[in-house]
Structure formats: structure tokens, C-alpha cells
Structure 1
Amino acid sequence: MIINHPLLGPRDSAEFVYLGDAALIDRPNGMSETAAQKFFAYQYLRDNPAGAHQELWYHEGGDRSWLVVTRNTVTHEIIAVELARDLARSRGRSR
């Protein structure tokens, strides 16, 4: 599978490590009154979608960037690739 890195161009997926659902970018506030319930859901509850899904990939064999890859889980077609930092900033977070 080829991942089209936004900065480096097409790269073999062997350079990357799959790290799961991109919803992990939205970490709960540990100081909220419902932090325990939110962290339980954050840590243990995952969807297993058939179709387009956003995933976190880490470019371990390259520039060590974090990517959000939108991939069809049925066909493995990669629909979009963006830097995780850019996506987090667009959602109002500065990581």
C-alpha cells in the first residue's frame, strides 16, 4: 500500500506504523467532572466501520510525522492523507 505523504510524496506503508482510530486526537479533558467516563470511552470503546475511516499513522521510517489517513477499510483505498498537527489545529487544538 502506498501512502501519499503530504510533505514527502508517495511512500511505502512499510515505513509507517498504524496507531488506530484518528479520534484519539480528541483526548478528553482530564479535569472535567465526567473525566472517568470519558477516558473509559476514549481508551476502550472503538468503532469497527466498513468503509471510509480516519486512522492515525506514524512515519517511523522517515520524518517521524503523524498522519491522519482516510482509508476505505473494505477496499484499502486511501482517500486522503493529512498531517495530524494540521487536522488538530483546524479543530481548535494546538498539539
Structure 2
Amino acid sequence: MIIDHPLLGPRDSAEFIYLGDASLIERPAPETATAQEWHAYAYLRGNPAGTHRELWWHEGGDRSWLVVTRDTLTHEITNVEIARDVARKMGRSK
């Protein structure tokens, strides 16, 4: 599978490590989150068949975090973004 890195161009997926659901970017606010919210954040994940946003880490390259939109049935990648940019769009500064 080829991941078209936004900064480096097409890279083999062997350079990356899959880190799970991209919803991990939406971390609960530490000051106000309940135990149930932390439990859901840490342990509850969907297992979708179809289009899914995932976190990938470019271990074998520039060590960037990417949000990859991929079809889990066909492995077709439709979008790749720098995770920092996605977090900023959501109102997170980190």
C-alpha cells in the first residue's frame, strides 16, 4: 500500500506504523472529563467496514503523524493530512 505523504510524496506503508482510530486526536479535556469519558476515549473503538480515518506514524521517515482516510475493505486511500493540521482545524492547538 502506498501512502501519499503531504510533504514527502508517495511512500511505502512499510515506513509507517498504524496507530488506530483518528478520533484519538479528540482527547477529553483533563480538567472536566469524567471517568466514563476517559474510559470511552482509551478503550472503545469502532471496527468499521468502509471509509475510516486512521492515525499513522512515519517511523521510517520524518516521524510525522498523519491522518489517513482509507477504505478498510479495499485499502484505497482517499486522503492524507498532517495530524497537527487536523487538530488545529478542530480547535486544538497541539
2:49 counterpart of 1:50: yes
2:24 counterpart of 1:24: yes
Is contact 1:29-1:35 (8 Å) kept? no
Segments of 4+ in structure 1 off by > 3 A?
none
Unmatched tracts of structure 1, length 5 or more: none
Q: State the superposition RMSD in angstroms.
A: 0.7
TM-score under structure 1 length normalisation: 0.96
- Which residue does the alignment assign to 1:12? 12
Residue type matched to 1:14 in 2?
Answer: A
Is contact 1:70-1:80 (8 Å) kept? yes
CA distance in 1, matches of 2:41, 2:28: 7
CA distance in 2, matches of 1:35, 1:63: 36
CA distance in 1, matches of 2:57, 2:72: 18
CA distance in 2, matches of 1:65, 1:35: 31
CA distance in 1, matches of 2:3, 2:13: 6
Residue type matched to 1:61 in 2?
Answer: G
Unmatched tracts of structure 2, length 5 or more: none
Residue type matched to 1:54 in 2?
Answer: R
Q: What is the CA-CA distance between 1:35 and the residue it aligns to?
A: 2.1
Identity %, equivalent residues: 71
SS in 2 for 1:74: coil
CA distance in 2, matches of 1:44, 1:16: 23
